[in-house]
Amino acid sequence: MNGAEVMLRTLLACGVDTCFANPGTSEMQFVAALDRVAGLRPVLCLSEIVATGCADGYARMSGRPAATLLHCGPGLANGIANLHNARRAHSPIVNIVGDHASWHLPNDPPLAADLDGLAAAASHWVRRVSLAAAVGADVAAAVAAARTAPGCIATLITPADVAWTAGGTPAAALPVPAPAIVPATVPEARIAEIAAVLETGEPVLLLLARGGLLLPGLNSAARIRQHGGAALMAPMQVARAMRGRGLPRVDRLPYAIDHALAALAPYRHIVLCGARAPTAFFAYPDKPGLLAPAGSRVHTLSAPDEDTADALARLAAAIGAPQFVAPATPPADTAPAHAAGLPTPESFARALSARLPGQAIVVDDAVSTGRGLFPLTFDAAPHDWLQVTGGSIGFGLPAATGAAIASPGRKVVCLQGDGGAMYSLPALWTQARERLDVVTVLFSNRAYKVLFNEMTGVGASVGPASRRLLELNDPALDWVKLAEGQGVEAVRAGDMARFDAVFQAALSRSGPMLIELDM
């Protein structure tokens, strides 16, 4: 067997059974090997930013790495934006990047690039395969690197001659525990340190990320809160959070810096539970970059590569917190009276909360419209919420695609701004081809709306020339036609009554659908 076949067989042996691909000439041996090696699901993506975003959404829901198949340096470069988001989310991904045959690179062909440098900038682990005999071991090493806590991006560069050369054997299977990524245990001394902080009686905030936003870590955090020991909050962007009726209510730290400062002002201690220290998204004139109040102390219960859920359970036990008791919640609103009038972020949030089916997955790339959605959806049916974590828009459509592949049988609702959607529009085609159960709500405000606020934040004003770089209305994007051109059924809603009706219809059927909601 040749190097490409060894590569596929090793991926499968190591528990990687899905590949989001945009192949070129250097990857043709990998493509051909798919006909000889059963079990690996190839998913064609029409741009690399879609392939890497799919792998991110897949990893967040499955806890396991998928592979991407990318073409030379430019192909990897096209995918780096969503690798950035995946890196911030600690999503495990194995990138297989084809390169020119090793003996052809010195000829400087047109696609030659600093592939190793690009890979190093976007990855935690990089290796270039040098011999066909080493392919199996190198692929196994890449999967092991991706599965290193808290979840890493591994990139394996594969010259074309390595893929077509015979020799080598598949590596032995890696152990694939469930979950595949095993975090480190927090030392007992740190548990005791944070317990002592809680016993001071001073205001404490637990900033929850990672396992702190998933069961059972979320319930342990709620035990601590009910015991009177701390308030709970999530970072501005969450990789994945479990939410809904009967689950502890945890709001996000506000994006706007003044609101974030006000939200943190009451606390004398901020305890990081799998989270980073609260930091402003951008720098602004005369405003701080670090958001912890002056005179407060920032403590670490668990780092991102440590077991946050276990640490929270041990902390709750250390302070004698009783079991979590879910607060009483109102019954589901099956006939929302608010489903009328022009759409606003608030009326949309209430409709989403009322209609969201149980165990749905919400993928959020709605930068402006999505900011205030958390408090208004606490009483929705239980669901998972995935958010763009690195600030690189164009995450939503592909991440929803990958999440749907990772979680068959669960409805995926993608909340996508119109500006960001144009970055990764071909993800809709992949949803249609794979017949995925994704409902996209496309917020059409015909502008990079967030940037109007950012202009004010940095002390700049919007004039006729600058407005041309912020608006998307000349010509206006027709999202119904754009979606239908990708094979996805689409409708437009200009008021909440129309939206509520078509959203219910979309949720009741299978397959992809897009609703353009005029905001």
Query: CA–CA separation, 134 vs 139, rounded Å?
Result: 9
Q: Which residue has the tokens 């067989």?
A: 9
Q: Which residue has the tokens 């219809």?
A: 505
**Cβ neighbours of 82 (radius 10 Å):** 33
Residue type, 15: G
For 5, the token pair is 């076949």
Domains and their CATH numbers in the chain: 3-164 (3.40.50.970), 188-318 (3.40.50.1220), 345-518 (3.40.50.970)
Residue 223: the pLDDT is 97
Model's pTM, two decimal places? 0.95
Residue 179: the pLDDT is 64
CB 374, CB 415: distance < 8 Å: no
Residue 456: the pLDDT is 82
CB 213, CB 238: distance < 8 Å: yes
Which of the residues in the chain have pLDDT under 70? 176-179, 327-339
- Nearest 10 degrees: CA dihedral of 17, 63, 81, 18? 10
Residue 503: the pLDDT is 97
Residue 382: the pLDDT is 97
Query: CA–CA separation, 404 vs 428, rounded Å?
Result: 12
